[in-house]
Structure 1
Amino acid sequence: MSLGGVDWGVLALYLVFVLGIGVVASRRAKSGVDFFLAGRAIPAWVCGLAFISANLGAQEVIGMGASGAKYGISTAHFYWIGAIPAMVFIGVFMMPFYYGSKARSGPEYLRLRFDEKTRALNAVSFAVMTIISSGVSMYALAKLIQALHVFDAPFAHLGLPQTWIFHGAILTSALVVLIYIYAGGLRGAIYNEVLQFFLIVAGFAPLVWLGLKQVGGWHGLQASLGPSYTHAWAGMAHATTNRLGVDWFGLSMGLGFVLSFGYWCTDFLVVQRAMAANSMSAARRTPLIAAGVKMFIPFLVILPGLIAIALTSAPDKNGATVAGPPAAVGAVVQHAPGVIPIKIDAESGKPMLDARGRPQLDYDLATPNLLLRYFPTGMLGVGLTALLASFMSGMAGNVTAFNTVFTYDIYQAYIRPGAEDRHYLSVGRLATAFGIAASVATAYMASQFNNIMDLMQLVLAFVNAPVFATFLLGMFWKRTTGHGAFAGLATGITVAALHHGLTLPADNLVGIKGGWIAVTHSYPSEMAQNFWTAIWAWSACFTVTIAVSLMTRPKPEAELAGLVYSLTPKITDERGAWYMRPVVLGVIMMIGVIILNVVFR
């Protein structure tokens, strides 16, 4: 499908605004605090929308649509169990430590609380994670460009292979984001993220409405797909009777506690937005404002996946049929109007098969293809701009977090301490370029997964799950020591690697998805493997940290004021209306998420 002039105009106007905001923000990015922390002068509502938008990247918009098609409405657990409680917890309990300590990053807080080696380990692992996440955003955009086929004719005219479109899209997107972040720093990223949030809503709300209208509304989806797709808690008593492949304990512990709290409470990508707020009260309200919005995001990003699978035949879908000669039995068959295509290998041009020889559906194309199906000229430009906005917000968020951690927690700490602020500002801009270049390489790794959300949860299981145990003990147990924190964090990461190397999701080949040591256990799905990897990593870190801390000497209590809950004065001065106080907001958010879980049980 080719875009019309109106569509190109909408896309061009968006890029002008994005680059323009970066240029305007660059006028105030004259110091390290301005570039890396936006001068700590951003209002709470702006930080709140940026907090949610930085997470609402391409890996979420496309990945959650893919997960909706693959796992059904139970994907909403990533929000109603795997986000809201943790966002309430960081707003009410943890932000006072981050903001009050005046730390410039998550790893720097670990230095203040523990020691340099703990900071270094977390800084390196976090930097690697942001590079991978940014690469996934690049991959998602390149997949989108391929799905549109808008560059097929120009590449054919130049005599270039069509497979080069994927590579060209990655390199072009990298250049655009480099200019945008290099100029404006965190302030430019935050205000662009607010713009991108509203574009995402404007682009996807009509898509969901049109899709639901065709399939007969929510009741039509239920009739077409069955309870395994449309009931969030269907079959959760046993891992083998639900689409996620994980029972209630694995879901609650792996997603609801370890992965959720590990991400929302310790990931500097989102914490950085709250740390840019103009006061302690604003910093605490930031994740709570975001939580109120986050509750309703599943209706924008997950429902397109359910609608797409309702229009596509799949071997395990309720009522699906298989047609063709005997050799095709068990294969995926595309009905007209099929929306989700078979995943094609970018190099060979042949279908990608699972361990049983069945072609895999390319779930990542569920949302883009649905958009092409429903949107006419003009609206198509708005929808594509929404996808582009999700890519920009996700990648920019990871890059701004990377350049801050690299500059302060690696370069300043170990390479050149004591330099002028202007020097670190220059290093931060160079780190932006390096981070984007490294992201290009990791974009190709994401092509091995038919659902990029599976890859992202795997990365979080390695990095965020163990570090959450470190933060939790450090903030709420004054006896935790630096030696204990380092030993526990290193053990958690190692255990995650061992668990991944010894297990493999069903119907997958040994390699990047696991089993590279030996296959001792098979999980029903990749997501189930991710949850249990996180559980093992967190448990190992938690246990080892406690054991080593009991055998080593802690810091004097005088050095822990403002860093540990029991040694920090409680906040009593809460200004503003009662309904804007963090504790009250937190209670309201928890009541809302309980209601949603009951309604979609």
Structure 2
Amino acid sequence: MNFDTIDIVIFTAYCALILGIGLYVSRDKKGHQKNAEDYFLASKSLPWWAIGASLIAANISAEQFIGMTGSGFAVGLAIASYEWMAALTLLIVGKFFLPIFIEKGLYTIPEFIEKRYSTNLKTILAIFWLALYIFVNLSSVLYLGAKALDTIIGTGDGSYMMMSIIGLAIFAAAYSLWGGLSAVAWTDVLQVVLLVIGGLITAYIAIDQLVPDGGIIAGLKYMYNEVPAKFSMILEKGEVITPNGKDAWWDLPGIAVLVGGLWVANLYYWGFNQYIIQRTLAAKSLKESQKGIAFAGFLKLIIPLIVVIPGIVAYVLNADASGNLTPESVSPGFLAADGGIANDNAYPWLIKNLVPSGVKGLVLAALAAAIVSSLASMLNSTATIFTMDIYKPYINKKANDKQTVNVGRITAAVSLVIAALIAPALGNLGQAFQFIQEYTGIVSPGILAVFLLGLFWRKATNNAAIIGVLASIPVALYFKVGPNGWVDSPLFVVLPFMHQMGITLIVTMIIMAIVSFSEGKGMVDPKGIVIEKDLFKTSPAFNISAFIILIILTFLYAMFW
């Protein structure tokens, strides 16, 4: 084990503090039995700063610390578009989506589908989200988190893998199952402080290694001069080739990261993802929720410094004199069993080899904070969807608060056990972040089309939504056939997955429009949402924050174009 006593003490203190806070806020107040609103929406009492912190804590996980750092190692700063464009996406969600959700008094995102379309479509999507959270999100976070801990604590040979999966699962369950969203959100405030501080410390130590005694500015200049291509935000074909020989343009196809398919991924994730949007529904008020979203947007701007720059540093430290990785130059810790380069080993390698004792315990606590906070959020949202959208409507319509809360806890526990059993089978995903984006990209365009037209086009019908979301799957899969063996056939085209998502969204919306017009004869659907004149008015605080974020984004893309 690569830890000194001081590291173990620091990490243990972190675990005890998080558990203590979680259990303290989870307690039933005197004379008050926890009800469904308490458990699933934190009594609708969250202030803006807790919402913003919780949004980032739910979002930043092993997928970012391990997967995005791995993509930084392989691709460079271009992968930061997922983070920087997310800041802009959050502003759009806060201004145009959130007012409608809060006005409808939602507990869950599927509940909106029921109010706008039908119970049948709501149930279909609720089942889909439950499967996605359990079999993709929970299992991948457990796997990537355990993989990181196995590399940092042990030798990366898998000896600590199962123990790490079980440990992370138990830790997340210890407070989130009992306390619900209150426990998750309030512990997230500390978790996000820890993950930002720990991440910045790691980035500073890593950059400082590039020019010993030269300082961080000298290190950044050295890194930029050594690998200037890795600081390009808008990639051209052939500009960046990953260590395993893939043209990075296929993952981040130029201008599409600004005006193309990345919007599908971002709008779907930040606008219609239960474990993200749930904390905004738990706000004291709409204005408080919007301020929280703006705060999260500011935090998003600094995340690439924490999760992308360290990956580029790891690349530079392992490159030869010409700036390329070779079997001779790269550390053995990056060599995969098949002889390729394991990009996702970048962050664990940095912690294990560069971070000194004492600080290592803090950095590991930051990594654990990112993993556990996401697990807790996913568990709470899985429980919310099953309880409110499956159990209560179909299994026990007369369920009281005590029964719904207990069912939520049982659902979360069962989901966690299933995910923990699946996690070890995920194997080596290469660039895990890109893998997860592509997998989610098969289903996200269809669901996004259903929501966008449901929110802003009153003529969209229920049958159009059902046909559209079902048709989007074969449309998305059509693009997956070409790269898997049918490239020479004129029936199939090969496109970057961002283009695939954009085209699938447009095709789905056209299908929905055709069905809606043929069915409704151009009439407004009875469940169409009436947009009031003042619904999208926002406070000066939100408007000023949005303006500042837009200025910073413009500056960043102008600098690194």
| TM-score (norm: length of structure 2) | 0.90
Indicate the residue corresponding to 1:4 in structure 2: 4
2:90 alignment partner in structure 1: 87
Judged with a 3 Å threshold, the aligned counterparts in structure 2 of structure 1 residues 239 and 16 are, in CA distance, closer, same or farther, namely: closer
Cα distance, 1:38–1:111 mapped onto 2, change above 3 Å: same
Q: CA deviation at 1:522?
A: 5.3
Distance 1:107 1:371, change over 3 A: same
Residue 129 of structure 1: how far off its partner (Å): 1.9
Cα 1:149–1:381 shift into 2, 3 Å: closer
Once the two structures are TM-superposed, the CA of residue 135 in structure 1 deviates from its matched residue by 1.1
Task: Report if aligned partners of 1:313, 1:333 keep a CA contact under 8 Å in 2.
Answer: no
CA separation of 1:294 and 1:486: change in aligned 2, threshold 3 A: same
Distance 2:471 2:196 in 1: 41
Q: For 1:62, which of 61, 66, 69 is the aligned residue?
A: 66
Distance 1:19 1:487 in 2: 46
Alpha-carbon distance in 1 for matches of 2:443, 2:452: 15
Q: What are the superposed Cα offsets for residues 232-260 of structure 1, whole Å, 9 maximum, x if unpaired?
A: 12426999996242433543455432111
Tell me the SS of whatever aligns to 1:570. coil
Give 1:104's aligned residue: 107
> Which residue in 1 is equivalent to 2:433?
453
Tell me whether 438-447 or 304-313 shows the greater mean CA deviation.
438-447
The answer as to whether partners of 1:67 and 1:451 remain within 8 angstroms in 2 is: yes
Cα separation, 1, equivalents of 2:235 and 2:93: 30
Which residue of the other structure, out of 200, 210, 228, is the alignment partner of 1:226? Answer: 228
CA contact (8 A) 2:66 2:148 kept: no
| Alignment partner of 1:275 is 2:275 | no
CA distance in 2, matches of 1:138, 1:236: 34
Return the match for 2:517 from 543, 546, 550. 550
Query: What does residue 568 of structure 1 align with?
Result: 532
Query: Given that residues 340 and 363 in structure 1 are in contact (C-alpha distance below 8 angstroms), is that contact kept between their aligned partners in structure 2?
Result: no
- The number of aligned residues is 543
CA distance in structure 2 between the partners assigned to 1:187 and 1:420 by the alignment: 20
1:362 deviates by: 1.3
- Which one is further off, 239-248 or 12-21? 239-248
> Aligned residue for 2:297?
291
Residue deviations 1:14-65 (CA, integer Å, cap 9, x gap): 1112211221122247111111111110101110111112101111121110
- Partner residue, 1:540: 507
> Could you say if the C-alpha distance between residues 554 and 20 of structure 1 is closer, same or farther in structure 2, counting changes exceeding 3 Å?
farther
1:537 offset after TM fit, Å? 3.1
With 588-597 and 425-434 compared, the bigger mean Cα shift is at: 588-597
1:305 aligns with 2:300: no
Q: CA deviation at 1:425?
A: 0.9
Structure 2 residues without counterparts, runs of 5 or longer: 212-218
Say which SS state the counterpart of residue 399 (structure 2) adopts.
coil
Which residue of the other structure, out of 176, 184, 191, is the alignment partner of 2:186? Answer: 191
Amino acid at match of 2:133: T
Structure 1 residue 422: Cα displacement: 1.5
Tell me by how many angstroms 1:502 deviates: 4.0
Distance 1:377 1:405, change over 3 A: same
In structure 1, the residue matched to 2:369 is 389
Matching of residues 231-242 of structure 1 within 5 Å:
231-235=232-236
Contact 1:38 1:186 in 2 (8 A): yes
Bigger Cα displacement from structure 2, 164-173 vs 359-368? 164-173
Q: Which residue identity is paired with 1:91?
A: G
Offset at residue 203 of structure 1 (A): 1.0
Q: Say if 2:334 is the partner of 1:333.
A: no
Q: 1:485 aligns with which of 465, 471, 484?
A: 465
| Alpha-carbon shift at residue 220 of structure 1 (Å) | 1.0
Does residue 211 in structure 1 map to residue 206 in structure 2?
Answer: yes
1:145-184 to 2 correspondences below 5 Å: 145-150=149-154, 163-184=158-179
Amino acid at match of 1:587: F
Unpaired segments ≥5 residues, structure 1: 153-161, 322-331, 344-350, 353-358, 505-509
The alpha carbon displacement at 1:151 in A equals 8.7
Give how far 1:410 is off.
1.8
1:292-441 equivalences under 5 Å are 292-313=298-319, 319-320=323-324, 332-335=326-329, 338=331, 341-343=334-336, 351-352=337-338, 359-441=339-421
CA–CA distance in structure 1, aligned partners of residues 544 and 422 of structure 2: 42
SS in 2 for 1:197: helix
Which residue of structure 2 aligns with residue 243 of structure 1?
248
Matched, 1:200 2:195: yes
Q: Contact between 2:71 and 2:343, CA under 8 Å: does it hold in 1?
A: yes
29-38 vs 438-447, which deviates more? 438-447
Residues 340 and 365 in structure 1, CA contact (< 8 A), matched pair in contact too:
yes
Once residues 69 and 471 of structure 2 are traced to their aligned partners in structure 1, the CA distance between those partners, rounded to angstroms, is 34
The worse-fitting range, judged by mean Cα deviation, of 58-67 and 454-463 is: 454-463
Moved more, 214-223 or 381-390: 214-223
Contact kept, 8 Å, 1:308 with 1:339, in 2: the verdict is: no
Amino acid at match of 2:170: L
SS at match of 1:462: coil
Q: Decide whether the 8 Å contact of 1:142 with 1:170 is kept in 2.
A: yes
User: How far apart in 1 are the matches of 2:260 and 2:142?
Assistant: 27
1:93 partner amino acid: F
The CA deviation string for residues 353-391 of structure 1, in whole angstroms up to 9 with x for no partner, is xxxxxx221111101110122211110100111111111
Residue 259 of structure 1: aligned partner: 265
The answer as to whether partners of 2:110 and 2:123 remain within 8 angstroms in 1 is: yes
Question: 8 Å contact 2:72–2:308 — kept in the other structure?
Answer: yes
Looking at structure 2, the residues matched to 573 and 546 of structure 1 have their Cα atoms a distance apart, in angstroms, of 29
Aligned-partner Cα distance in 1 for 2:362–2:240: 40
- Paired AA for residue 342 in structure 1: L
Give a deviation string over 1:160-186, Cα, whole Å, max 9, x none: xx6442122212222222222112111
Question: Is the Cα–Cα contact under 8 Å of residues 91 and 287 in structure 1 kept in the other structure?
Answer: yes
Among 112, 118, 134, which residue is 1:115 paired with? 118
Identity of aligned residues (%): 23
Partner Cα separation in structure 2 for residue 238 and residue 64 of structure 1: 19
Change (3 A) 1:96 1:209: same
**Offset from partner CA, 1:528-585 (integer Å, 9 cap, x none):** 33x234224322321221111112249997965xx73x5334148866xx3x1x3333
Go from structure 1 to structure 2 and tell me whether the alpha carbon gap of 1:484 and 1:221 turns closer, same or farther (over 3 Å shift): same
Q: In structure 2, do the counterparts of structure 1 residues 279 and 204 end up closer, same or farther at CA, with 3 Å as the change threshold?
A: same
Partner residue of 1:587 out of 522, 547, 551: 547
CA distance in 1, matches of 2:442, 2:521: 27
**SS of residue matched to 1:596:** helix
Contact 1:334 1:341 in 2 (8 A): no
Deviations 1:455-499 (A, max 9, x none): 220232133332111111111111111111111111113322343
The farther-off stretch of 546-555 and 193-202 is 546-555
> Displacement of 1:285 after TM fit?
2.1
Deviation, structure 1 residue 518 = 13
Distance 1:143 1:541, change over 3 A: same
Distance 2:146 2:493 in 1: 34
Aligned mates of 1:173, 1:468 — CA distance in 2: 32
Q: Is the Cα contact below 8 Å between 1:309 and 1:339 reproduced in 2?
A: no
2:441 and 2:290 map into 1 onto residues whose CA distance is 26
Question: Matches of 1:140 and 1:522 in 2, distance apart?
Answer: 29
Q: Is the Cα–Cα contact under 8 Å of residues 51 and 273 in structure 1 kept in the other structure?
A: yes
User: What is the aligned-residue RMSD (CA, Å)?
Assistant: 2.8
What is the aligned counterpart of 1:596 among 533, 556, 561?
Answer: 556
Are positions 1:135 and 2:136 aligned together?
no
